[in-house]
Amino acid sequence: MIPFSILDLVPITEGSDAGQAFRNTLDLAQLGERLGYRRYWLAEHHNMPGIASAATAVLIGHVAAGTSTIRVGAGGIMLPNHAPLQVAEAFGTLASLHPGRIDLGLGRAPGTDQPTARALRRYFDSADAFPQDVLELLGYFEPAQPGQPVRAVPGAGIEVPVWLLGSSLFSARLAAQLGLPFAFASHFAPDAMDEALALYRRNFVPSARLQQPYAMLGINVVAADSDAEARRLFTTQQQSFINLRRGKPGLIPPPIDDIEAYWTPPEKLMVERALACAVVGDAVTVKAGIAAFVARHRPDELMLTANIFEHAARRHSFEIAATVRKA
């Protein structure tokens, strides 16, 4: 079986707070390390009450300091929100503190709504410049040259694997052109997955960073001791999607017994389309579902995510998924 990794949105659940979310994140990362997951990634989001990973680089440092072998990284940093030099300095610092363990995934969306994007200052001026910003950032990780006017300190000459993230063909094409690994956000936007994978693999140009294409796919995996319990746990994520589309983002809600009573038929279609890449069930169901997904799409790695209300149930879900991989 291919490598499994974890994407953590650092959920703030109803009745809890950000401090508890951070403690849960470190606990889950330590569990993932023991279970053999390859990476633990955190994603930049802003102005979302139920997601605590806004200061992504800070949180990566916290998780990396509390673990010892698992790779820790950004899935991703939304580059239009930041100056490339500042990103290089931040991740050069992280890689200096935790050599050989830091990943930097880059996205070109703001990771938030338009008013918050304006508050972040950079997005409306720089989103269209994403390819140039990526090249500038990559340059800061190269060894500094004599007379170079601006260098990343730390950052220059430090090995930080850079990934491009996306849910469309744009980043797939750019990752292929630049010879970078590519991660597709199929866990919430799967529509262009097959086309993006084919384009990336077909057009890949080897680089000093990567000799052959390497594609990772996101997938929702909610595992429990029974199919019925897993489906119930999954209603937390379904409700969260509906609430976001209704313009009412909030804390992560507890699961409910009857999701059909919660959503309208159009909302149901929307959620089922967005979360089409999901495997929900007991160990047998999850093993079969993951195997089918891998056989169909042939990713080089899977990035598992599970937005589950109770931390103990979330831990158990990743434990079941790990046993599936080893079976």
SS3 83: coil
Q: What percent of the chain has pLDDT over 70?
A: 97
111 confidence band (pLDDT: 50, 70, 90): low
310: number of Cβ within 10 Å = 13
Q: What is the tens place of the pLDDT at every residue in 139-153? A: 999 999 999 999 999
* Closest to 73 in 3D by CA, of 44, 112, 109: 44
Pick the more confident residue, 314 or 129: 314
40 beta partners:
6, 72
For tokens 């079976």, name the residue.
327
Q: What is the rounded radius of gyration, in angstroms, for the C-alpha atoms of the chain?
A: 19
In this structure, what is the dihedral angle of CA atoms 285, 286, 287, 292, given to the nearest 10 degrees?
Answer: 90
For residue 115, is pLDDT > 90?
A: no
DSSP state of 144: P
Pick the more confident residue, 126 or 183: 183
φ and ψ at residue 82, rounded to 5 degrees:
-135, 155
For tokens 């097959």, name the residue.
194
pLDDT at res. 118 = 77
For residue 122, is pLDDT > 80?
A: no
Total count of domains within the chain? 1
Q: What is the tens place of the pLDDT at every residue in 248-283? A: 999 999 999 999 999 999 999 999 999 999 999 999
Give dist(CA 248, CA 262) in Å, integer. 14
For residue 123, is pLDDT > 80?
A: no
Question: Does the bond joining 154 to the residue before it have cis omega, within 30 degrees of 0?
Answer: yes
Q: Which residues neighbour 319 within 8 Å (Cβ) at sequence distance 6 or greater?
A: 31, 35
CATH of the domain at 281: 3.20.20.30
For residue 212, is pLDDT > 60?
A: yes
CB 160 within 8 A of CB 192: no
- What's the whole-number mean pLDDT along residues 97-111? 91
pLDDT at res. 61 = 98
For residue 128, is pLDDT > 90?
A: no
DSSP state of 228: H
* Closest to 255 in 3D by CA, of 235, 280, 275, 278: 235
For tokens 């009450």, name the residue.
49
- What's the whole-number mean pLDDT along residues 235-257? 96
Q: 101 is written with which tokens?
A: 């363990």
Q: Structural domain of residue 227, as residue ranges?
A: 4-326
SS3 18: helix
For residue 112, is pLDDT > 80?
A: no
CB 126 within 8 A of CB 80: yes
- What's the whole-number mean pLDDT along residues 203-212? 98
Give dist(CA 106, CA 56) in Å, integer. 12
- Exposure string of 20-36, with b = 16+ CB inside 10 Å and e = fewer, is ebbebbbebbbbbbebe
pLDDT at res. 240 = 97
pLDDT at res. 203 = 98
- The whole-chain average pLDDT of the chain stands at 95
DSSP state of 161: -
For residue 126, is pLDDT > 70?
A: no
163 beta partners:
105
Q: What is the DSSP string of 45-110?
A: --S-TTB--SSHHHHHHHHHHT-SSSEEEEEEEEGGGS-HHHHHHHHHHHHHHSTT-EEEEEESS-
Q: What is the tens place of the pLDDT at every residue in 20-46? A: 999 999 999 999 999 999 999 999 999
- What's the whole-number mean pLDDT along residues 77-83? 92
* Closest to 43 in 3D by CA, of 4, 83, 92, 6: 6
pLDDT at res. 79 = 93
For the whole model, what pTM was predicted? 0.95
